Structure 1
């Protein structure tokens, strides 16, 4: 279009105002000087924080340290929470998955679960799974790499609670 002698205003009108006249003028200037409109350097402010070296350091931290929280990365690297979030999600394509707590059961425990109505409550609050995350590209990968946390069948402070219903009355709970 520039070779045809069209002005930047005419080109902008033909593009139906998708791009501004100023952008068309900039493209024409770049085309006249370099015969291409490819950008040599990205327009705008240069990256000073989210560099390739920082992305590599964060990736290595996840590889070698295993379970790592974004908050710990923010504190150790001295950068903002948003920057770490963009590095994790946009650059490394990782997602946060909750750690799954699995019971270690043997055959006897499985039989007990089937034959009795017992509920076990852990009162210690030793493991708070809502704050523990594993960053991985998929749930399958997270499960393979420290995404499951085995726990004992009977924790330290455990109470068994049973409830019985008779024909005409409801028996109370006993410990």
Structure 2
């Protein structure tokens, strides 16, 4: 009986050792990039010049250069040429993956199809390396002046869990979108 227990123990120990040899090393944590979006001088899109745009941004996130995008929208801000959205976006940047964001700016319409004002693209790597923590880019659209998109960023190397706890203290609603989180201020 003592021999049987001893042999069982050896088999268990060998099994654990073998499993540990095949374990995959965890990926290194990336660089945390948090940002909010604003726009400046959005044009009237109704061709009458009487209404300010009801702007929103459809954000396409490409996790790699060959990945299909994950899309999420900001809230719609009514009647503003200079909207400041309250959502805070959180992405973990991993160098070498080709992560990309495309910001498609729209004017929301109740009765007709939304009108695309224009687009801006930026690599997440460029955002992570930006020392100014503010990037302002021309929106490329059909109008001569389609306005500007402004990103205000915070970049640091804290752990993902620390960031989530810190942001949850300020923003109550959390929506998971394609590998990063969207925090909405209530």
Q: TM-score, normalised by structure 1?
A: 0.25
**Which is strand-richer, 1 or 2?**
2
**The structure with more helix, counted as a fraction of residues:** 1
Q: TM-score, normalised by structure 2?
A: 0.24
